[in-house]
Amino acid sequence: MATITPIPATLIPGDGIGPEITAATLMALDALGAPFVWDRQVAGAAGVASCGDPLPPACLNSIRKTKLALKGPLETPIGGGYRSSNVRLREEFKLYANLRPALTLIPGGRYENIDLVMVRENNEGLYMGYEHFIPIDGDPHAVGMSTGINTRQGCRRIVHFAFDYAIRKGRKKVTVVHKANIMKALTGIFLETARQIYEEEYKDKIAFEECIVDACAMKLVMNPWQFDVLVTTNLFGDILSDQIAGLVGGLGMAPGANIGENAAIFEAVHGSAPDIAGQGIANPIALMLAAAMMLDHVGRLDLGNLLRRSINETLNEDKVRTGDLGGSASTLEFATALVERIKENK
Ligand code: NAI
């Protein structure tokens, strides 16, 4: 029998539905015989609850060692409180590329045969957190300010990533999404860099187009098939990736990878879903597909493909689906059916 080299990886179950979908994902990974040896850590609200820190040093040290993590969603207080642990992780490990594919798995929905990939710049833009309130006349929040920053180096890095990814995956076109008509510096530099890099390095290899973000949002609803790979700045990528998740059945179907030079963190696009947390009804597929991307990333395409195929069959042949997909299965029932499929397919 072939020996499997164990791969150390950090596991952060996360907040809200995080522990439920993580448990389901681990069931699937165990059934696959995935090579990961987990170092379990906490962050987000769970980090605050257990050690008073939304990003405990032990969690950071673990990822520094493993350079690889599977992460459930982390809660961020709205409008105040601590800064997002997700954003801090992306900064700490310079995870500049956020790769978010959206693929139709269940036929017969509003949109058939969607196969899009969002490449989102992950470290710059309006997520830098340079924000201030200016107090006037006793109102401490009389003025709210935010400064976005995009650097030439950051734009070059993500644009190269998008073109290289698209070519490696046999994609046909890269669309750069911007708002350079209004934010002429902040997103102008992004568009200018994409145009330049395309002309200099990719012109003969793949098609390229430009789209203003508001028009892109409309086109994604009217005719999403016209797009292939999209590359954009941080905030636009955040918004549009939830939109493309909606084209394939919702946030329960959308995985993501945060990739840098020295580390990679895999997660679902969605958040901690506090409205359904603790009920055992969350759809675990987004995190499972993120785990499949993680398997691809460590060179185990065989296992990544086996997981994707088994998810497909559980959904479409066994017709086991969670409530967000119109079914009645619990998270655990879906995971149990999936494990059976994995065992059959192995
Ligand atoms: P959300 O993505 O948690 O939920 C939006 C809606 O989608 C809710 O109705 C929820 O029930 C539903 N939903 C999400 N995932 C689902 C799943 N797997 N199965 C079934 N339904 C699902 O967004 P929301 O409510 O805006 O954010 C909640 C918290 O999550 C906030 O603290 C936010 O900061 C955090 N968040 C964390 C992210 C991360 O860790 N990467 C990403 C997005 C939000």
Count CA atoms within 13 Å of residue 292 on its CB side.
Answer: 23
Spatial separation of the C-alpha atoms in residues 51 and 248, rounded to whole Å: 38
- Mark whether 164 is an active-site residue: no
Residue 214 annotated in active site = yes
Query: Ligand 1, atom 34: nearest CA belongs to which residue?
Result: 76
Among 239, 242, 272, which residue has the most ligand 1 atoms within 8 Å of its CB, making it the best to mutate?
Answer: 272
Pick the catalytic residue: 15, 39, 127, 165?
127
Distance of CA 251 from the midpoint of ligand 1 (Å)? 8
**Ligand 1 centroid vs 181 CA: distance in angstroms?**
32
Let me know if 94 is a catalytic residue. Answer: no
pTM as predicted: 0.95
Question: What does the pLDDT profile of the chain (346 residues) look like in tens digits?
Answer: 556 789 999 999 999 999 999 999 999 999 999 999 999 999 999 999 999 999 999 999 999 999 999 999 999 988 888 889 999 999 999 999 999 999 999 999 899 999 999 999 999 999 888 899 999 999 999 999 999 999 999 999 999 999 999 999 999 999 999 999 999 999 999 999 999 999 999 999 999 999 999 999 999 999 999 999 999 999 999 999 999 999 999 999 999 999 998 899 999 999 999 999 999 999 999 999 999 999 999 999 999 999 999 999 999 999 999 999 999 999 999 999 999 999 999 9
Q: Determine the residue of 270, 275, 331 to mutate for testing ligand 1's pocket, defined as the one with the most ligand atoms within 8 A of the Cβ atom.
A: 270
Q: Is the CB of 187 under 6 A from ligand 1?
A: no
286 lines ligand 1 (CB under 6 A): yes
The catalytic residue among 53, 82, 111, 242 is: 242
Measured from the CA of 256, which atom of ligand 1 is nearest?
41
Domains in the chain and their CATH numbers? Answer: 1-93+263-346 (3.40.718.10), 97-251 (3.40.718.10)
